[in-house]
Amino acid sequence: MTDVIASRKNPLVRRIRKLDSEADFRRQEGLFLLWGAKSVEEAMADPSRVGQLVVGEKVSRQTSLRPLLRTARQLGVPTAILSDSLLEELAPGSSDQGLLALARASVLPLDALLRHARAPLLLVADRIRDPGNLGALVRLAEAAKASALVTVRGTVDPYNTRSARASAGSILRVPVCELPAPEAWGQLRTEHRLQVVVTLAHGGTDPHRTDLRGPLALVLGNEGEGVSPEWMDSSDLRVNIQLGGSVESLNVACAAAILLYEIHRQRAAI
């Protein structure tokens, strides 16, 4: 049986802490933390995405986990066992599920992705700061069959631990791209006939009365400030969701869900 790691000074434990807290270290290593039984099992479907498997001490003794551990061993995926108290310290609430993967991130160049996309749908995150919101957007992107999540400078890292957990495994399947420089973005926009759609709290058109079937880049703005003036000025379409009562605005993930459903509905009707 593999020795149980219980020391905070263990190199793996230190590495996990740095992956959790430092975006630059995640980029340098090309890894992120993926917590939870379901997400880890999904990652193991493509073992090339898993750099290290970490198991809680209690969970490691469960017979239900043996097939996963056997698969990891057969495929050469390194496996370590952490004491439950240390695992709980690293990620409060995680010791019950007791599974963690150091998963390989996948950030793709947008131009390469668009070359293979028909009527692409890009979900553009404009300075979204809350990891939970961004993770929810990743999950919505998968549900709406979006081509990619595109992050604008100032947006939280999609591979932030909280963001990855909020995506409930979708971060493994939704392509992530960084917005290219303005000139390159302009060329891609023209080449692929992308219409830029921005969301407004007031003054836009009703999305139900807007043609959203073609190639789109749907821009979702910062939680407090909304879409930046630069995106507003360069937009092709401006939409807003009509709200009732005294509600003035929606959480960015709620607004995205409504708009993505409408886009999906229109495209499914073609």
> What is the CATH superfamily name and number for domain 110-268?
SPOUT methyltransferase, trefoil knot domain (3.40.1280.10)
Cα radius of gyration rounded to whole Å, the chain: 21
CA 44 to CA 51: how far, in whole Å? 10
CA 201 to CA 204: how far, in whole Å? 8
Average pLDDT, the chain: 89
pLDDT of residue 90: 86
Backbone dihedral angles phi then psi of residue 172, each to the nearest 5 degrees: -75, -20
pLDDT of residue 96: 61
More confident residue, 170 or 67: 170
Structure tokens at 17: 């802490």
For 96-106, how does the pLDDT look when each residue is reduced to its tens digit (9 = 90+)? 678 889 999 98
Which letter, b or e, does each residue of 10-39 get, where b requires 16 or more Cβ atoms within 10 Å of its Cβ? eeebeebeebbeeeeebeebebbbbbbeeb
Which region holds residue 148: left if phi is over 0, alpha if psi is between -120 and 50, else beta?
Answer: beta
For 181-224, how does the pLDDT look when each residue is reduced to its tens digit (9 = 90+)? 999 999 999 999 999 999 887 778 888 888 999 999 999 988 88
Q: How confident is the model at residue 173 (pLDDT cuts 50, 70, 90)?
A: very high
Please state the pTM of the whole predicted model: 0.89
CA 131 to CA 159: how far, in whole Å? 9
For 57-93, how does the pLDDT look when each residue is reduced to its tens digit (9 = 90+)? 888 888 888 888 888 888 889 999 999 889 888 877 6
Provide CATH 3.40.1280.10 ranges for the chain: 110-268
Find the helix or strand (DSSP H, E) in which 17 lies. Answer: helix 11-21
Query: Domain spanning 4-104 has what CATH number?
Result: 3.30.1330.30
Provide CATH 3.30.1330.30 ranges for the chain: 4-104
pLDDT of residue 64: 85
For 126-151, how does the pLDDT look when each residue is reduced to its tens digit (9 = 90+)? 999 999 999 999 999 999 999 999 99
pLDDT of residue 249: 66
pLDDT of residue 67: 87
Residue 221 half-sphere exposure toward CB, CA atoms < 13 A? 21
pLDDT of residue 30: 95
Cβ-proximal residues to 143 (8 Å cutoff; 6+ apart), any chain: 260
pLDDT of residue 147: 94
DSSP state, residue 106? -
pLDDT of residue 270: 63
Q: Is the pLDDT of residue 120 over 90?
A: yes
Structure tokens at 113: 């992705």
Q: Is the pLDDT of residue 119 over 90?
A: no
For 22-47, how does the pLDDT look when each residue is reduced to its tens digit (9 = 90+)? 999 999 999 999 988 888 889 988 88
CA 269 from chain center: how many Å?
Answer: 28
